[in-house]
Amino acid sequence: MATTQFASVSSQKRTSMSRVRWLALGLLVVLVALAVMACADAGTASSSSGPSAGVAASAIASPGSSGLPATSPSPTPTPTPAPLAASSPTDPFSFLSWLFTPIFQALFILLTWLYVLTGNVLVAIVLLTLIIRFATIKLSARQLASQQRMQRLQPELKILTKELQRRYKGDRQAVYAATQEFYKERGVSPTSGCLPSLLQMGMLIPMYSVIRIGLTNFDPTSMLKVFGEKVVPLTCPNPAHIVNGVVDKALPCINTVIAGVDMGKEQVLFSLPLGINGWALGVSLLALAAAGLQMVQSRMMMPPNAENDPSASTQRSMMIFMPLISILYGGILPAGLFIYWIVTSLFSVVQQFLIVGWGAMFPLFGRTPGFARNYTPRFPVTMPEPANAGKSLAATRYKPEERQASAASTVRPNTHRRSSRRGRRR
């Protein structure tokens, strides 16, 4: 009887943890959707949905792997780990996973090759992150330049918008067309900075699958083969995990423990009870570090005088929301994903410093240090030369003094002034 109760409780815990992990994955998708919404403010809209990249479906294994209900009269057997393999397109969910398998496999092969080369999974994750960031460095630099140019055009754009709304009352299409013509004339694209943001946020999903599923599997040999040929010299299952001819499938082939922290699992210092059905918030040191770097990254890119600019309210909200999400994920996401997040944010901070300098980082708490005063970035952003200047609809707007002169010219002078009032009563 005690064995049955223990098995039922264990099954319930496994089911709860499985739900929490898939909830975390769903929140990652929501995070990508928020990045898309942020880009929509610049003139574009997109959507991102679907399951995790690669072999996410293999993490479920089978419908029975999550366990039976707690009221089941028979004990639930412990699910046996299976070798890592690509999912079969038998349903819409597995079909999407199957489509993303090449992305998962490419990242996993590169990560495994770096692990074999260095012998340290932490170093391998850092190097993989740097390779991804250097591969997209031109896109991210273009994004930073686009954001800076849009910020410099904001004062002029506000005046332009008011004038266009006055000229084309109620005709939104005409206002939009004139605004786009203004962007084209000034050589600025409001949507050029969206793609790098989407790529950066979208990479969290396949990296989650690579770290959570790939690194923790005891035999990922099938994912290390391309056209049937093994491309990474890694022996799996690990010979050290074979005792008397029996493989310990609970141990991953790759050593994921560095300095007592398992890169494939959550790193939690302590938990804060939330008082909701026994839920607790796991506090992670890596999550706090990632949140701090994201705060610095967002602060540097805030537009000047953001406190007085209503258009910056979205950026201020995201600056608070993104680090908060990192802290909330501390007890859910694996430590290796936070290593990726930390290195990505640190790379972005350094790149922003070289292109935009300290940005809006200072004044901080009302103080600006001496090293931040009059600092010139190494690769400053310049505005492109206007194309077809003065020929767009936006360029034909009246300046304030021109509007006053035009209004004065339309007022007819009163040349028939009467010297006396008619019908005066005596």
Write out the H or E segment, with its range, that includes residue 246: strand 246-247
Q: What was the pLDDT predicted at 417?
A: 56
Cα dihedral angle (12, 204, 46, 175), rounded to 10 degrees? 130
pLDDT for res 133: 94
Task: Look at residue 27 in the predicted model and tell me its pLDDT.
Answer: 53
Backbone angle region of 224, left / alpha / beta, with phi > 0 → left and psi within -120 to 50 → alpha = alpha
Give the pLDDT score at 422.
55
Q: What are the residue ranges in the chain where pLDDT is below 50?
A: 1-18, 20-22, 32-75, 306-307, 426
Q: Which amino acid is residue 401, in one-letter code?
A: E
Q: For the chain, give percent helix, strand, coil, nearest 5.
A: 55, 5, 40
| Alpha-carbon gap, residue 268 to 281, rounded angstroms | 9
Contact criterion met (CB below 8 Å) for 233 and 96: no
Cβ-contact 104, 74 below 8 angstroms:
no
pLDDT of residue 305: 56
Nearest alpha carbon to residue 354 among 87, 137, 201, 38:
137
Distances (CA, A) of 350 to 141, 144, 245, 357, 358: 11, 12, 51, 9, 10
Please say whether the beta carbons of 58 and 104 come within 8 A: no
Q: Could you report the per-residue pLDDT of 46-93, keeping only the tens digit for each?
A: 333 333 333 333 333 333 333 333 344 444 555 678 888 887 778 777
Which of 198, 201, 214 has its CA nearest to residue 334? Answer: 214
The Cα 383–Cα 151 span in angstroms is 11
- pLDDT for residue 106: 93
- Backbone dihedral angles phi then psi of residue 125, each to the nearest 5 degrees: -65, -40
Do residues 301 and 351 touch, judged by C-beta distance below 8 A? no
How high is the pLDDT of residue 23?
Answer: 52
